[in-house]
Amino acid sequence: MPNSQATVIDRHANTVVVHVLADRLDEANLSAVGDDASAAGAESPQLAVVLDLARVGFLPSLSLGGLVQLAQLFKARGQRLVLTGLQPAVRTTMAITRLDRLFEVKDDASKLQT
Amino acid sequence: MLTDPPASIEPPAPPIAADPPVVVLLVDDQAIVGHAVRQMLQPESDIRLHFCQDPLNAVAMANEIAPTVILQDLVMPEIDGLTLLKFFRANPATRDTPMIVLSSKEEATIKAQAFALGANDYLVKLPDRIELVARVRHHSRGYIAQLQRNEAYRKLAESQRKLAEEMAQAAKYVRSLLPPPIREGPVRIDWRFIPSTQLGGDAFGYHWLDEAHLAVYLLDVSGHGVGSSLLAVSALNVMSQQSLPDTNFHDPGAVMRGLSAVFEMHRHSGKYFTLWYGVYDVPARRLTFSGGGHPPALLLHGSSLADAAFRELQPDGPFIGVGNVLPFENLTVELGAFARLLIYSDGAVEIAKPDGEMATYDEFNAFVSECRDRENLMDPILERARAIGGQQILADDCSLIQLDFQ
């Protein structure tokens, strides 16, 4: 189970939760987060991957492309990717850029875990 | 006794060979010393010795042969050796050349004076051959390395200068693509374009599609710098030249779909852009718009300024680059008798405060609302952005277009 400095990963019965540790997703850490999420999903292809962004206070526009590529990767695998823990500023960015329509977003992903 | 320094010249920097030879200049009025040093250095095939018996000619000879080390006597007729040291150090071509004093004087005070005036080493005549060769090589090696470093820095500085020139030209070209403000007619337009670096990812334009329809658009490519600017120019030219095949540029949604098919991010180094595109129908006073991923334009309109209210014109599509994964719908608004439209890039909004917190869209909208009675919304927004960020240079590109519909 990959565990870089960018994320902490928890495994549950039905999900793999990738907790993002940084307070913003940007060029410095987006690649590592994407790699961790991708690897976690590849190790457990039958489970949904939950990307926990509870600590992320800001999503710069430069990182949106990376998130979209991650979504496209999971879609190509036929694996579910869920975003959770969105702070208000991140929600706003997702709404303005209409990415909230490209991603599955859950306020509470715990129900997926059992 | 010579007291004035000989005429010195600033020679052009000599090219540095890959494996330059050791070039020794010996300055000594005694021929026997010249002969002895020549004998010592003769077995060293990579060391070239030049002997100057006339110290008055020493600086000129050094300028000509570019020695990697100078061996110099202290006691000579017509010029004091310590004075000649000063002359060598004052001469630009030999300012940094290692100097080994070769003297029969052993007094510590003389040695200290020599070092104070710029000597790098001091040998009492005549040194052991092995020691002389070792010191000549040691000092020459260090000097050659310094010359090679200097040359590398010079080339780096030159390439940086050229790059800066080219960047300035590119920035000038990008600016030249932006249309001039429109001061008369049914729509008056003004704008502000503030890239965060010399070349940014923002671009915008407007042009008449026909006598009755004006297209206006603002795009923001992800990132900054040359790559983002190139994509911005490319997309801008497609829209201004209306060069999408089989596309009706009066139809914003169609334009978005066409751009989305052309500018897929996997074909553009992962770059994508947000876009607000609108078409104003003058006779009908109707604005139709579409776009993707872009902040909402702000329309202040009503029967007059007094009763005008702000409305967000938020396009519905995803940003350009992800493909046609979501529909690009056309949205329409009929303008009131008074109508003022502000289109902007997210650089006007998403600003990091000194404490690290990000400014929000709600704060931005509240500020713009406070400015509702001002004729120019753009400059207060820019001043606010600079004030929030605490510096004149904004962290992100910031573009603003204001349209006043007559």
Number of separate helices (H) and strands (E) present in chain B: 9, 15
Q: Which two tokens stand for residue B171?
A: 């920035």
DSSP assignments along B20-59, one per residue: PPEEEEEE-S-HHHHHHHHHHHTT-TTEEEEEE--GGGHH
Asked if B292's CB is within 8 angstroms of A98's CB, the reply is: yes
> Average per-residue pLDDT in chain A?
87
Sequence length of chain A is: 114
Single-letter code of the amino acid located at A35? D
Residues A39, A49: Cα–Cα separation, whole Å: 10
pLDDT confidence of residue A65: 84
For chain A, percent of residues with pLDDT exceeding 70: 93
DSSP B179: P
Helix (H, G, I), strand (E, B) or coil at B382: helix
Query: Whose CA is closest to A106, among A85, A91, A89, A92?
Result: A85
Residue A3 in this model has a pLDDT that exceeds 80 = no
Q: How many CB atoms lie within 10 A of CB B283?
A: 9
Let me know the angle formed at the C-alpha of B73 by B72 and B79, rounded to the nearest 5 degrees.
100
Q: How far is B395 from chain A (nearest CA, A)?
A: 11
pLDDT confidence of residue B10: 57
Are the C-beta atoms of B216 and B403 separated by less than 8 Å?
A: yes
Q: How far is B369 from chain A (nearest CA, A)?
A: 19
Residues of chain B falling short of pLDDT 50: none
Q: Which two tokens stand for residue B372?
A: 């509702």
Mutate to test the interface with A, among B322, B344, B345 (most CBs of A within 10 A): B322
Question: Scanning every residue of chain B, which has its alpha carbon at the shortest distance from the alpha carbon of A63?
Answer: B222
**CA distances to B145, B154, B162, B165, B214 from B158, in Å:** 20, 6, 6, 11, 46
Residue A1 in this model has a pLDDT that exceeds 50 = no
For residue A72, the chain B residues in CB contact (below 8 A) are 322
Asked if A65's CB is within 8 angstroms of B265's CB, the reply is: yes
Q: How far is B101 from chain A (nearest CA, A)?
A: 56
pTM over 0.90: no
Query: Whose CA is closest to B385, among B241, B192, B231, B224?
Result: B192
Nearest to B222 among A61, A98, A99 (CB): A61
State ipTM. Answer: 0.77
Asked if A65's CB is within 8 angstroms of B271's CB, the reply is: yes
pLDDT digits (tens, 9 = 90+) for B104-134: 989 999 999 999 999 999 999 989 999 999 9
**CA distances to A22, A71, B91, B147, B271 from A28, in Å:** 10, 19, 50, 38, 17
pLDDT band at A109 (very low <50, low <70, confident <90, very high): confident
Asked if B272's CB is within 8 angstroms of A64's CB, the reply is: yes
Are the C-beta atoms of A55 and A21 separated by less than 8 Å?
A: yes
Nearest to A98 among B270, B272, B326 (CB): B326
pLDDT digits (tens, 9 = 90+) for A8-46: 999 998 899 999 998 888 877 888 999 999 999 999 999
DSSP A63: G
DSSP assignments along B272-313, one per residue: -EEEEEEEEETTTTEEEEEEESPPPEEEEEESSTTT-EEEEE
pLDDT confidence of residue B353: 85
pLDDT confidence of residue B78: 83
Question: Scanning every residue of chain B, which has its alpha carbon at the shortest distance from the alpha carbon of A100?
Answer: B318
